[in-house]
């Protein structure tokens, strides 16, 4: 199946999900996660009209960035080590995995050097799995309030991941809780943290995520297949 055929199917599913919950399909942005595929497949993604590209490791992204950086909008979606910040800020426009102040400090420092602002998502570990990164929901308010000290960071939303291998309907309460947390936190009216976006939903569970309020869905396998080389 070509990327185009896969994308057509995905759009159909998004459309149905939007119908079900009365959402405007234009609120949902697809990030094509290209971590499993090479540069040619990544170019194919751009050619079918997806501009948002997601990568979770700087090594995997490096050669793609060198070749096609200007042609896409880059989202860093993986766990971000502090010593890798220099390879991310200025290369990727969005960071989805802000989860600690030491990381915020480093992002802010690098962004100030480049004289840019970095839109970030704060990653929340709703499911409570120990293997997952992200803040506990109860820590989110204090953490985000503290981010006001880092003026080059704009907190545009929250991000979460559902448990690995969960069947679709098991993910619904997780996405719902992220939405509820967003609404709760928005009451603070922070100018540094408008929190208008929700990054949630992957190949297995994006329709549920859309029904529960996702604005960015991160799709790898369903668009690009699961390659054997990674
Ligand atoms: C790999 C990855 C995805 C995409 O996963 P698929 O199940 O292949 O769609 C989405 N988000 C993050 C953070 C990832 O690491």
Mean pLDDT per 10-residue section of the chain, whose length is 230 residues: 94 98 97 96 96 97 96 98 97 98 98 98 91 92 98 98 85 97 98 98 97 98 72
Distance from C-alpha of 199 to C-alpha of 122, rounded to nearest angstrom: 10
Instruction: Please work out whether the CB of residue 75 comes within 6 Å of at least one atom of ligand 1.
Output: no
Q: What is the separation, in whole angstroms, between the first and last Cα of the chain?
A: 19
Query: Which ligand 1 atom is the nearest neighbour of the CA of 33?
Result: 4
Instruction: Please work out whether the CB of residue 56 comes within 6 Å of at least one atom of ligand 1.
Output: yes
CA of 115 to the centre of ligand 1 (A): 30
CA of 75 to the centre of ligand 1 (A): 12
Query: Which ligand 1 atom is the nearest neighbour of the CA of 202?
Result: 9
CA of 74 to the centre of ligand 1 (A): 14
Instruction: Please work out whether the CB of residue 133 comes within 6 Å of at least one atom of ligand 1.
Output: no
153-159 vs 197-199, strand pairing mode: parallel
Identify the pLDDT of residue 227.
58
94-98 vs 29-33, strand pairing mode: unpaired
């Amino acid at each position: 199946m070509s990327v185009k055929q896969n994308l057509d199917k995905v759009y159909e599913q998004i459309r149905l999900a939007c119908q079900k919950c009365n959402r405007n399909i234009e609120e949902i942005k697809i990030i094509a996660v290209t971590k499993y595929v090479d540069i040619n497949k990544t170019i194919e993604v751009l050619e079918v009209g997806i501009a948002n590209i997601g990568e979770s490791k700087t090594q995997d992204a490096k050669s793609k960035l060198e070749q096609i950086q200007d042609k896409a909008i880059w989202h860093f979606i993986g766990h971000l080590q502090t010593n890798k910040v220099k390879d991310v800020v200025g290369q990727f426009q969005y960071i989805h995995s802000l989860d600690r102040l030491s990381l915020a400090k480093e992002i802010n420092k690098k962004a100030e050097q480049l004289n840019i602002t970095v839109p970030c998502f704060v990653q929340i570990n709703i499911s409570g799995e120990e293997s997952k990164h992200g803040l506990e929901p109860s820590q989110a308010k204090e953490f985000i309030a503290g981010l006001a000290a880092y003026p080059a960071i704009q907190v545009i939303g929250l991000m979460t991941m559902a448990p690995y291998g969960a069947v679709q309907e098991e993910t619904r309460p997780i996405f719902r809780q992220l939405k509820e947390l967003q609404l709760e936190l928005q009451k603070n009216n922070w100018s540094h943290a408008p929190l208008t976006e929700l990054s949630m939903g992957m190949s297995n569970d994006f329709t549920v995520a859309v029904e529960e309020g996702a604005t960015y869905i991160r799709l790898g396998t369903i668009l690009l297949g699961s390659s054997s080389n990674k």
